[in-house]
Amino acid sequence: MASSLLPAFTVRRGEPVLVAPAEQTPRETKTLSDIDDGEGMRFYSSGIHLYRANPDKQGVDPAAVIREALARALVPYYPLAGRLREEAGRKLVVDCEAQGVMFVEADVDLTAADFGDVQSPPFPCFEQFILESTTVAGVEPVIDRPLLYIQVTRLKCGGFIFGQRFCHCVVDAPAGMQFEKAVCELACGAAAPSITPSWGREMFMARQPPQPSYPHLEYSEPAGGAVDRMLTTPPGDVARVPFFFGPREIAGLRQRAPPHMSRSSRFELVAACIWLGRTAALGYGADEEVRLSFIVNARGRRDVPLPEGFYGNAFAYSVAATTAGELCTGGLGYALELVKKAKSAVTYDYLLSVADLMVLRGRPLFALSRTYIVSDVSHAGFKSVDFGWGEAVYGGPAKGGEGPIPGVTNYFSRSKNGKGEEGTVVPISLPKDAMEKFQLEVECLTAEI
């Protein structure tokens, strides 16, 4: 893991500029899907890539290379250079007028080695390496703002940091990676991106008339109980600890799983373990409903007819729900059963049902109370983003989770421990008095029998 004790430094940013498409692009309005424009999508997701110096690139300015490739990539991906506008019913559309994406160059007297062996989010001092826009009452609007912010920070060793912030309404993680790889290909000399982008948002529009066909617990508050302490604990009273689930921990979880579930996926095992331990540690009442909500990616599913090159949001939140008492009594096997059931629930019909609900209920935010929300980015391929300087030393989310409340939403990412073993790392945030109990719960669940 990387040390957070970086030498004292100051990032010297230049003046941000708008980078427009390198060629003339269509002037038109494109409608987002009814999955794209929910309240829970209206934020910017941050990512960072750290690169060492490359002797073959001595004297080459990475900021200039990336800026030129970015302008060229925005020709086929021209909607990303547009601006969001809200129409009746809170419907979002993109006005494509080649307004451009925000770009800034920066310099800092640090080396790639100063960051240590950074393996998982949050990236040290990430706020200094991503470009943020102005906020209004503590909220960062997405309407009539650039859809992408990029900062390229040159390091004194010859390496650099690439920091980006994408409006989630327009792309999800795989879609953002598709665009970044297009920029990489152009930066490395390609004449055009290898994947031709496809808008394709019409496939996730609400039906007429809208008819939600699932309960969609993710958009209703859980039953029973008092206000969730995770939503009221002051940030200063929250502890943050990264938990590593390597070969030993996964083996321990498999031994505790019922025989017919011993071949569960790594994600299912880790998610069930954390949900169970977190519920016990927070001391919820036995009759209080608790939930695990996680993103299920629709890409690659036979029943979801995504066009090749699609770069919109193609996922839904699925929910496993029960009472705290039933979860803690049922143990890992019961939690796994609920996770598997929720995971299999997301079909194309489910996605259309989400779109229907968005239209009928004003595009609501997903529920947060007594809910643990997980996004697994283990297989996103962040490190493969190569602008010509080689594979990233670190590539992944800038933060440990998104949203204003620490610990409610977490990223699962790939990492290595001190022994060089690969595993899943999860940065857990809990009230300080609950963290020790959580650690004990996880140790018991993962210890090999």
Residue recorded with tokens 């989630």: 168
The closest alpha carbon to 284, from 332, 326, 242, 317, belongs to 326
Rounded to 10°, the helix 266-282/247-256 angle is 80
Crossing angle (nearest 10°) for helices 62-73 and 173-187: 120
Is residue 74 within 8 Å of residue 101, measured between CB atoms? yes
> How far apart, in Å, are the Cα atoms of 346 and each of 189, 268, 295, 412?
40, 15, 10, 20
Residues of 282-295 as b/e, b for ≥16 C-beta within 10 angstroms?
bebeeebbbbbbbb
Q: What positions carry a catalytic annotation?
A: 168, 386
What is the amino acid identity at position 369?
S
Rounded CA gap, 324 and 407, in Å? 18
CA angle 21, 51, 152 (to 5 degrees): 40
Q: Are 193 and 182 in contact (CB under 8 A)?
A: yes
Residue 48, both tokens: 């960072």
Sign of CA dihedral 171, 174, 177, 182: negative
d(C-alpha 29, C-alpha 44), whole Å: 21
* Measured distance CA(268)–CA(253) in Å, rounded: 10
**Distance between CA 412 and CA 426 in Å, rounded?**
5
